[in-house]
């Protein structure tokens, strides 16, 4: 017989002793899938007879269960309930998180020193102000860049608007001479 730790918890407020499972868990063995859901105090074990016996041994007082698959194979059904209970300890919930001491960022830690240092230095030599890359004058971000002048976005690329490709497909108009 295997012994496993079964984690128990509360439903709602943490008053009194632990009485249910802490989270929803799902266990599977063969085609049998068992899902356990925490229940309020006083609900009891809403489960099949086999799983009620196992939950009693585990010390769980209140729980909802759902079973799918071939539950008449009792061994697989019992193993699925056992797998469910085993998973109850595999989840790390916030009450089990280790207490961590947060260290401040170096920027926050040395904030006074950095602000005094920047005031004492002043502007750097050869500082050209803010900008991107080479000096491009007042063209802005995109600029002209020699791509067709004032075409704008998309631009007119020849042909007629809405005719697709610039040739006449229906023959409505004078023939083109190329």
d(CA 144, CA 11): 67
91 pLDDT higher than 60: yes
Give mean pLDDT, residues 33-58. 94
Does an H or E element contain 81, and which?
A: helix 74-87
Give mean pLDDT, residues 61-67. 95
- pLDDT confidence of residue 113: 84
Question: What burial class does residue 39 get, using C-beta atoms within 10 Å of its C-beta: 0-12 exposed, 13-18 middle, 19+ buried?
Answer: buried
Contact 20, 60 (CB under 8 A): yes
- Beta carbons within 8 Å of 98's beta carbon, 6+ residues apart: none
- Beta carbons within 8 Å of 162's beta carbon, 6+ residues apart: none
Give mean pLDDT, residues 21-42. 94
In tens, the pLDDT along 96-145 reads 788 888 888 888 888 888 888 777 776 666 655 565 655 555 555 555 55
């Amino acid at each position: 017989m295997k012994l496993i730790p079964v984690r128990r918890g509360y439903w709602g407020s943490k008053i009194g002793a632990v009485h249910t499972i802490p989270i929803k868990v799902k266990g599977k063995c063969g085609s049998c899938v068992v899902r356990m859901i925490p229940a309020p105090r006083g609900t009891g074990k809403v489960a099949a007879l086999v799983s009620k016996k196992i939950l009693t041994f585990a010390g769980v007082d209140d729980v909802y269960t759902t079973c799918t698959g071939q539950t008449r194979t009792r061994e697989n059904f019992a193993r699925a309930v056992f797998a469910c209970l085993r998973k109850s300890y595999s989840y790390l919930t916030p009450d089990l998180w280790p207490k961590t001491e947060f260290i401040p960022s170096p920027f926050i830690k040395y904030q006074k020193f950095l602000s005094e240092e920047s005031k004492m230095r002043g502007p750097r030599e050869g500082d050209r102000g803010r900008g991107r890359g080479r000096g491009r004058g007042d063209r802005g971000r995109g600029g002209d860049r020699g791509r067709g002048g004032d075409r704008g976005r998309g631009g007119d690329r020849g042909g007629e608007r809405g005719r697709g490709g610039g040739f006449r497909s229906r023959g409505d108009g004078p023939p083109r001479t190329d």
